[in-house]
Amino acid sequence: HQAARGRVIDAAGAGLPVIEQALRLYEQAPPSAEHAKAWLDYADDFLGHIEGRHDGIFQALNQALRIAKAADATAMIPRILASLAANSFVRGHLEEGFAFLDQGWALARAADNRIALVRLAWKESDALLKLARFQDAANAALGGLEPAREAGLQASFEASILIFNAAEALLASGRTTEAGALVDPLTAGRPDHDHWIAHEARAGQEL
């Protein structure tokens, strides 16, 4: 599982056989949070990069959810629901997607699950941005930054995506100065695996 995650950084295809082997090995043990996360990673990081695999992603995410529930891995469930929501949006099922988000928010807030709150803010702001609900998208993305800081994720890829989504929404609303102020702190250094998206926002929008 960890070897596959290392390989996917540069090419999803390179890690695909390794994550599939990991999933077969997990089947030999009882359900666990790690097993559920492997299915979540398989759906998001591997199948998600293969064109036309949206139905396969949905099946993999449902498998992750089934295993998480069987293992009583409650911290994993809202994270999986966030990805199920994103997959529903891609397949054009908006009501289903927002229903998954509502379930995820309720569970994450009840447990004060900051990592899940960050992921939900990411997926919700993505959807709202694509629906041209720019103020809602900015609010959702910015709302995820505090739990990201509290979880020690302020320098992570997830936080960069939240800032990117907030900046895109602010730009679409004509609030260029505010968007630039968000992106500035992440573009002082060279692009890397965690912060390239902020550099892309600055380059693409000429902030």
pLDDT bucket at 2, cuts 50 / 70 / 90: confident
Percent of all residues in the chain with a pLDDT value above 70, rounded to a whole number: 82
What is the C-alpha to C-alpha distance for residues 134 and 142, in angstroms, rounded to an integer? 12
Tokens at 145, concatenated: 């930054």
pTM (predicted TM-score):
0.85
Of 71-75, 104-108, 166-170, least confident by mean pLDDT is 166-170
Tell how far CA 112 is from the center of its chain: 18
- pLDDT tens digits along 110-133: 999 999 999 999 999 999 999 999
Residue with tokens 């959702």: 140
Percent of all residues in the chain with a pLDDT value above 90, rounded to a whole number: 58
Local structure of 50: helix, strand or coil: coil
Q: What is the mean pLDDT of the chain?
A: 86
Comparing CA positions, the residue from 202, 144, 146 lying closest to residue 176 is 202
- pLDDT tens digits along 78-100: 999 999 999 999 999 999 999 99
Give the H/E segment covering residue 136: helix 134-143
Residue with tokens 């056989």: 17
